[in-house]
Structure 1
Amino acid sequence: MATLQKIRSKGPLLVIVIGLALFAFIAGDAWKILQPHQKTEVGEVDGESLSAQDYQKLVEEYTEVIKFTSGMSALTDEQTTQIKDEVWRNYVNNKLIENEAKKLGLTVSKAEIQAIIDEGTNPILQQTPFRNQQTGQFDKDMLKKFLVDYSKMDKTKMPPQYSEYYDKMFKFWTFVEKSLTQSRLAEKYQNLISRSLISNPIEAKAAFEARVNTADYLVAAIPYTSISDSTIKVSDSELKDLYNKKKEQFKQFVESRNIKYIDVPVVASKTDRAEVEKEVTEYTKQLAGTTADFTTFVRNSESEVPFVDLFYTKKAFPADIAARIDSASIGQIYGPYYNQQDNTFNSFKVLAKQSAADSIQFRQIQIAAATPEKTKSLADSVYNALKGGADFAELAKKYSGNAEPQWITSQAYEGATLDENNVKLFSTLFNLGVNETANLSLPQANVIMQVVDKKAVKDKYKAAVIKKTVNFSKETYNKIYNDFSSFIAANPTLEKINANAEAKGYKLLERNDLFSAEHVIGGIKGTREAMRWVFGAKEGDVSQMFECGDNNHLLVIAVTGIVKEGYRPLELVKDQLKAELIRDKKAEKIMADIKAKNLTSFAQCKTIPNVVTDSVKHVSFAAPAYVASVRSSEPVLSAYASIAPLNKLSAPVKGNAAVFVFQPYSKEKLKEVYNQKEEELKVQGMAMRAASRFVNDLYIKAKVKDNRYLFF
């Protein structure tokens, strides 16, 4: 029974593991059969492909690392998606650096990795379980002991759960070693690039002067918004000329798609809502008469909040329950009521309330012998010895190897799925008084616990909760499905969808530059099949209807455009270029008008139509000036900080948000002492930060292809 219960508790994890095993078995042969006709690579880096099977292995490896370090037995869809992206990013980055390092002869030896382990300061090592409890730092001796013990371990003579844990820890350490090698190689390559960037005394002196020489300006600004865009004409030839001049800025390294789509959310009808309300009302009447076995009652009601026979803090309950629980009398029913925030009908019964310590410091002795009978006999003997005055710490060291007390709070069980043994353990622990001891019999072992200290008294509640979401019925789904199917059948082209969607009550949405590396369309879960269709379709194609989300969204998509890898067409960047040309023409007009006025003083600037005046202080060449009156950062003003003559009105200059006329009224040199060595290091540091973006250049050069959407 204990084994069966353990299997049940790990049900979701087993489903995932079995599912992956079946997938590997089936896909292994299927991909061999399809290989002549279909690609099986999820991606390519520098001409080297990564197969779907190998990528899946990397994902599984990292998934197990996350589970091990987080203590989770299963991951959500969102967490799995994040892991897949992280695995791909790491694979690409490591492959890019590995290929470059190979050309240069850069390697990482086992001796280097051992030196990193001996030093023990690498951040990766701080994430391992091999840390000293007192200092919190990585402990190489703990690692060595584990590796020696693991190499000598006889799995036939230890409980399966311990053997499994040691296997997971060894696999985790193998992953850490691989990560250390990869990070060390990346560090070597980056250092090689950084060492090629040096500074010189002239550059250092210029950087120092640019930072310490500051000026205060009087500023007159004529915003571009003072001229209507409609008065400025831009010709096609001007757009084409500017496009050709800036063409390199519009280079796209991955193909994208432009789409229009209709997303139909399936929501509950009034009839569905009334049915759920009726059901909760009936369960509420039954709850009022229930005095025992609340676990079974709540489970049979299919409430979304299971009953656990433990005291919970208020925050452990759903927000709407927590907000009302103090208003409910002990033993009385609160509800039913509707909660709009989570779309549920609810009622609850507070069974008990107490003020109790929430932080418990305890120590324990785990007793496990060859048979349950021997375990009980030995545990009773130890327990009686403790009652007779034996030293708890000494017995703990003898039988468990660890006598250190530890703290625990109700957070350890609140929100977790607990079996009856977990409930028994936590209930016993939280009900013990300080210095009291209990001998708890569990299926795998006996646990003798002693409470050392208690603190942090909180109000706690034991409550049975009925919470049911107002979901749509099958009839509601079928009606929405059939109506939408009929609309798609009657409007099979993009032109017809454009013309008739709104009249039928459907909203046509648009998304440009959809990339295959994305996972969802329109923020809707479960759109993987739709993504595959989008990137296999031609311009103008309209999809079939997709059932998406948590089976609560219907989706139809039309491809309105395909943006190929390479330079984005002029038509797609036309608005951006037009806005720039309009700004430049406005600047030319404003500057010509100002020059015609022959202004000689800042006071005269205030007579310019639409002018706004301001003062900007402590402007230096090293940082852009911010002009509050036009809400814009203006590097052009910073450029004049050290060269503009004091108290002399400038000529008009073109800025980002306005044309400016300015007059320096004060100049100051910051009280810093020039240190050539320090300044050279600062300049070199700036160059190194810029060089850290080398991976982007490697990425572009390697022509990385990401086809994961075809498989995952």
Structure 2
Amino acid sequence: MATLQTIRSKGPLLVIVIGLALFAFIAGDAWKILQPHQGKQDVGEVNGKTLSAQEYQQMVDELSEVIKLTNGLNSLNEDQLTNIKDQVWNTYVTNEVIANEAKKLGLQVTKAELQAVINAGSHPLLMQTPFRNPQTGAFDKDMLKKFLVDYANLDANKMPAQYVEYYQKMGNFWNFIEKTLSETLLAEKYQNLIGKSLISNPVAAEDAFNARTEQTDMLLAAVPYSSISDSTITVSKEEIKKLYDSKKESFKQPVETRNIKYVDVRVVPSDADRKAVQEEVTEYTNQLISTTKDYVSFVRSTGSTIAYSDIPVSKSALPNDVASRLDSTSVNEVYGPYYNQTDDSYNAFKIVAKVSAPDSIQFRQIQVYADTDEKTTELADSIYNALKAGADFAEVAKKYAQTGEATWINARGWEGTTVDADNATLINALIEQPVSEISNLKIGQSNIILQVMNKKQMQDKYKVAIVKCPVEFSKETYNDTYNKFSQFVAQSTTIEALEKNAEENGYTVLPRMNFRSDEHYVGGVKSTREALKWVFDAKEGEVSPLYECGENDHLMVVALETINPAGYTNINQVSDMLRSEIIRDKKAEKIMAEMKGFNTLAQVKGMKDAVSDSVKHVTFSAPAYISVTRASEPVISAVASKTAVNATSAPIKGNAGVYMIQVYNKNKNAETLDSKTEQATLVNMISRYAPQQCIYELREKNEIVDKRYLFF
């Protein structure tokens, strides 16, 4: 129970809201998305090993619950869920490819090793659990053991259903942590094996030291490539093909992609819609003036995006436009109506109360629950009377299998969140109840014997009834926009027609190259899964039907231009980039030919369009930035390090022009070479990225198929 009390302190609302189902968010319609695909429910595979949609969904659910628990959240938004889905998939793929390599190498994580890591308690993953010592913040294996013993001996028939569900939730949480820890340890073994195989030597150490500590000051003159018009340079197809072949490996793409064109229309409010919202909020403002009770129902009836909370909150928990006006408004005064441009809304608010309330509260409690309400009330009264008569709180709590330990909670846990009536009762009691006083609260089907121990950081807090109504489009506006766009889509059955009709109707056709199925959203617009599925099922040249997407405020049509199979990118798609590189090289050749025989900066400065500059503190270890050409030039750093003082270099082909440099000073900082330290630094540096690069290469070489877009 001590563990439970510590865990509850992670989020103050968990004190009451412990009846949430373990995986509530899949209790409803989550699996309906799979029904159309029954019989082909594999979301992907790694080297022939398939992952079913059910297995994937379970992994997503597990991680979702962990994130909600550790962050004190009751739900996750669409973006958070999308990130979790990608994290689950990427983790699964990485674990599979590592496990495959580890098996070949004989690497494994035994139960004894796993237990030793848990006993040591220093692994970062363990620090993300609630099983931490409240004084030191360190992972406490004894707290974990106590919880696991309590969980193993849990008698569901003798404890309230809320506690049973809470224990089950925490049990599943620990199972997830244990499984993840085992996978992480195997990955660390593999990465350490790679990292420990990397060594340095005294020669490399000295080179790295000199590259970092030797600085060069120089003068330079250059002729930028921009001084020559691209139109004067001729590039043949054969030249492009030759360059493509030489760089072909850099154009390799691991998965099939699509080149698409799409039209995305966002439905926006009309002037009439805006006026209607303004008039509506004006009427609500008048009603708010005369409202003196049941602000919850009134604010709800207005459709305000900010629900009324009967708990005083700090300014920071309120919308900025409201918080900035509080000081100029009195209690029971209504401010508004007014327009807020930031969120495009019309607003009014009323300060219902202003109080001095703590930001941190320490309390202890005994939760009382019996078979019936009558027995619960009778038992709670008995405990309350005993404590009022002088009984020891902790001893009484232990009698009912609870610790009675004091817990600190912070207002950040409830401010800015939706709080139900039971939680509001508890929180208001904590705020209003004097220190050391004991109360007996009826909350839900149980009673809570509550004692406030301490209060800190008293500050002004407010109860504010806020009417915030965003300007939204009406049904008529949506229908008008839909009908116009629908007619456009019906007339645009080819890509050519789509582009022609878009220009005539005031729409914009947007291109998107190399669109991948794991990007989730077409054009970055939410709820475009059906459009995404169409893209990866269509044939080249086809145009999609009209899709209603976004938050019911977007209309979209998509055309599939090209299918790019996995492998090497088609030369036509990179020809412009290759052409630019060839043009740059030919400009360099032309300029360098004009500089032939030059041995002074003055000669370069005499050339048409030449520029000059001085650059200081150039080192080999970092590319030099040349301000007159606005370019980073690594080659300048390299040449400068090898050029003697008072010497002038030959012409140098750079990224933005052809340069000639003259070194006039070199110096070295006061640091002395410590070969062993320098070698260790080099090893540490490469060990940080080499294992990850190795894993990336493994993923590239393994056969990975991602079909999640069909289901999620």
- TM-score, scaled to structure 2: 0.91
The separation in 2 between residues aligned to 1:266 and 1:137, in whole angstroms, is 52
Partner in structure 2 of residue 3 of structure 1: none
The answer to whether the Cα contact below 8 Å between 1:47 and 1:702 also exists between their aligned partners in 2 is no
The separation in 1 between residues aligned to 2:638 and 2:489, in whole angstroms, is 59
CA gap of 1:196–1:488, structure 2 versus 1, over 3 A, is same
CA gap of 1:455–1:644, structure 2 versus 1, over 3 A, is same
CA gap of 1:339–1:621, structure 2 versus 1, over 3 A, is closer
Partner in structure 1 of residue 172 of structure 2: 171
Greater Cα shift, 551-560 or 298-307: 298-307
CA gap of 1:165–1:195, structure 2 versus 1, over 3 A, is same
The answer to whether the Cα contact below 8 Å between 2:258 and 2:564 also exists between their aligned partners in 1 is yes
Partner in structure 1 of residue 514 of structure 2: 513
The separation in 2 between residues aligned to 1:22 and 1:271, in whole angstroms, is 39
The answer to whether the Cα contact below 8 Å between 2:18 and 2:163 also exists between their aligned partners in 1 is no
Are 2:547 and 1:550 aligned?
Answer: no
CA gap of 1:695–1:177, structure 2 versus 1, over 3 A, is same
The separation in 2 between residues aligned to 1:241 and 1:525, in whole angstroms, is 42
Partner in structure 2 of residue 662 of structure 1: 661
The separation in 1 between residues aligned to 2:465 and 2:428, in whole angstroms, is 17
The separation in 2 between residues aligned to 1:452 and 1:96, in whole angstroms, is 53
3-state SS of paired residue (1:155): coil
Partner in structure 2 of residue 591 of structure 1: 592
The separation in 1 between residues aligned to 2:614 and 2:405, in whole angstroms, is 65
The separation in 1 between residues aligned to 2:30 and 2:223, in whole angstroms, is 65
Q: CA offsets per residue over residues 58-105 of structure 1, 9 Å max, x none?
A: 222222222232232322111111111000000000001011111222
Partner in structure 1 of residue 578 of structure 2: 577
Partner in structure 1 of residue 161 of structure 2: 160
Are 2:299 and 1:298 aligned?
Answer: yes
3-state SS of paired residue (2:596): helix
Are 2:265 and 1:255 aligned?
Answer: no
| Pairwise CA distance, 1:312 | 2.4
The answer to whether the Cα contact below 8 Å between 1:219 and 1:661 also exists between their aligned partners in 2 is yes
User: Quick one: which amino acid aligns to residue 527 of structure 1?
Assistant: T
The separation in 2 between residues aligned to 1:681 and 1:113, in whole angstroms, is 29
Are 2:546 and 1:536 aligned?
Answer: no
The separation in 2 between residues aligned to 1:629 and 1:422, in whole angstroms, is 64
| Pairwise CA distance, 1:148 | 1.7
CA gap of 1:354–1:114, structure 2 versus 1, over 3 A, is closer
The separation in 2 between residues aligned to 1:23 and 1:235, in whole angstroms, is 52
3-state SS of paired residue (2:540): coil
Partner in structure 1 of residue 11 of structure 2: none
Partner in structure 2 of residue 678 of structure 1: 677
The separation in 2 between residues aligned to 1:307 and 1:195, in whole angstroms, is 59
Partner in structure 2 of residue 698 of structure 1: 698
Partner in structure 2 of residue 40 of structure 1: 41
Partner in structure 2 of residue 708 of structure 1: 708
User: Quick one: which amino acid aligns to residue 612 of structure 1?
Assistant: V
The separation in 2 between residues aligned to 1:622 and 1:155, in whole angstroms, is 65
Greater Cα shift, 378-387 or 413-422: 378-387
Partner in structure 2 of residue 95 of structure 1: 96
User: Quick one: which amino acid aligns to residue 557 of structure 1?
Assistant: V
Are 2:501 and 1:500 aligned?
Answer: yes
3-state SS of paired residue (1:540): coil
The separation in 2 between residues aligned to 1:307 and 1:433, in whole angstroms, is 25
User: Quick one: which amino acid aligns to residue 46 of structure 1?
Assistant: N
The separation in 2 between residues aligned to 1:547 and 1:673, in whole angstroms, is 67
The separation in 1 between residues aligned to 2:244 and 2:204, in whole angstroms, is 35
The runs of 5 or more residues in structure 2 that have no matched partner are 1-15
CA gap of 1:233–1:110, structure 2 versus 1, over 3 A, is same
The separation in 1 between residues aligned to 2:490 and 2:374, in whole angstroms, is 71
User: Quick one: which amino acid aligns to residue 688 of structure 1?
Assistant: S
The answer to whether the Cα contact below 8 Å between 2:18 and 2:162 also exists between their aligned partners in 1 is no
Q: CA offsets per residue over residues 451-494 of structure 1, 9 Å max, x none?
A: 34334333222222222233322222222222211122222221
Superposition map of 1:180-579 within 5 A: 180-369=181-370, 371-388=372-389, 392=393, 395=396, 401-579=402-580
Q: CA offsets per residue over residues 121-146 of structure 1, 9 Å max, x none?
A: 11111111111111111111111222
3-state SS of paired residue (1:501): helix
Greater Cα shift, 368-377 or 693-702: 368-377
User: Quick one: which amino acid aligns to residue 616 of structure 1?
Assistant: V
3-state SS of paired residue (2:642): coil
Greater Cα shift, 228-237 or 603-612: 603-612
3-state SS of paired residue (2:662): strand
CA gap of 1:393–1:44, structure 2 versus 1, over 3 A, is closer
The correspondence for 2:28, drawn from 12, 18, 21, is: 18
User: Quick one: which amino acid aligns to residue 214 of structure 1?
Assistant: Q
The answer to whether the Cα contact below 8 Å between 1:13 and 1:73 also exists between their aligned partners in 2 is no
The separation in 2 between residues aligned to 1:44 and 1:405, in whole angstroms, is 50
Q: CA offsets per residue over residues 394-448 of structure 1, 9 Å max, x none?
A: 6556657445443334333222222222222222221233444433232343333
| Pairwise CA distance, 1:389 | 5.1
Partner in structure 2 of residue 620 of structure 1: 619
The answer to whether the Cα contact below 8 Å between 1:215 and 1:667 also exists between their aligned partners in 2 is yes
The separation in 2 between residues aligned to 1:218 and 1:15, in whole angstroms, is 66
The separation in 2 between residues aligned to 1:236 and 1:23, in whole angstroms, is 49
CA gap of 1:590–1:297, structure 2 versus 1, over 3 A, is same
The separation in 1 between residues aligned to 2:530 and 2:148, in whole angstroms, is 45
CA gap of 1:589–1:541, structure 2 versus 1, over 3 A, is same
- Measured on the aligned residues, the alpha-carbon RMSD in Å equals 2.7
Q: CA offsets per residue over residues 586-625 of structure 1, 9 Å max, x none?
A: 21222222225x334x455443433333233333333322
| Pairwise CA distance, 1:163 | 0.8
Partner in structure 1 of residue 3 of structure 2: none
User: Quick one: which amino acid aligns to residue 269 of structure 1?
Assistant: S
The answer to whether the Cα contact below 8 Å between 2:205 and 2:682 also exists between their aligned partners in 1 is yes
The answer to whether the Cα contact below 8 Å between 1:299 and 1:306 also exists between their aligned partners in 2 is yes
The answer to whether the Cα contact below 8 Å between 1:367 and 1:400 also exists between their aligned partners in 2 is no
Superposition map of 1:54-65 within 5 A: 54-65=55-66
The separation in 1 between residues aligned to 2:328 and 2:92, in whole angstroms, is 55
The separation in 1 between residues aligned to 2:158 and 2:381, in whole angstroms, is 24
Q: CA offsets per residue over residues 541-592 of structure 1, 9 Å max, x none?
A: 0011011111111111111222221111221111111111111112122222
The answer to whether the Cα contact below 8 Å between 1:359 and 1:409 also exists between their aligned partners in 2 is yes
User: Quick one: which amino acid aligns to residue 18 of structure 1?
Assistant: G
3-state SS of paired residue (1:175): helix
The runs of 5 or more residues in structure 1 that have no matched partner are 1-5
The answer to whether the Cα contact below 8 Å between 1:494 and 1:541 also exists between their aligned partners in 2 is yes
CA gap of 1:327–1:23, structure 2 versus 1, over 3 A, is same
The separation in 1 between residues aligned to 2:119 and 2:23, in whole angstroms, is 36
The separation in 2 between residues aligned to 1:285 and 1:543, in whole angstroms, is 49
Greater Cα shift, 467-476 or 6-15: 6-15
The answer to whether the Cα contact below 8 Å between 1:356 and 1:459 also exists between their aligned partners in 2 is yes
The answer to whether the Cα contact below 8 Å between 2:370 and 2:376 also exists between their aligned partners in 1 is yes
CA gap of 1:179–1:356, structure 2 versus 1, over 3 A, is closer
Greater Cα shift, 201-210 or 623-632: 201-210
3-state SS of paired residue (1:94): helix
3-state SS of paired residue (1:451): strand
Identity of aligned residues (%): 53
Greater Cα shift, 241-250 or 208-217: 208-217
CA gap of 1:165–1:202, structure 2 versus 1, over 3 A, is same
- TM-score, scaled to structure 1: 0.91
The separation in 2 between residues aligned to 1:525 and 1:500, in whole angstroms, is 25
The separation in 2 between residues aligned to 1:691 and 1:15, in whole angstroms, is 40
User: Quick one: which amino acid aligns to residue 708 of structure 1?
Assistant: R
3-state SS of paired residue (1:651): coil
Q: How many matched pairs?
A: 696
The separation in 2 between residues aligned to 1:410 and 1:200, in whole angstroms, is 56
The answer to whether the Cα contact below 8 Å between 1:330 and 1:351 also exists between their aligned partners in 2 is yes
The separation in 2 between residues aligned to 1:565 and 1:331, in whole angstroms, is 66
The answer to whether the Cα contact below 8 Å between 1:361 and 1:408 also exists between their aligned partners in 2 is yes
Partner in structure 2 of residue 649 of structure 1: 648
User: Quick one: which amino acid aligns to residue 151 of structure 1?
Assistant: A
The separation in 2 between residues aligned to 1:580 and 1:73, in whole angstroms, is 53
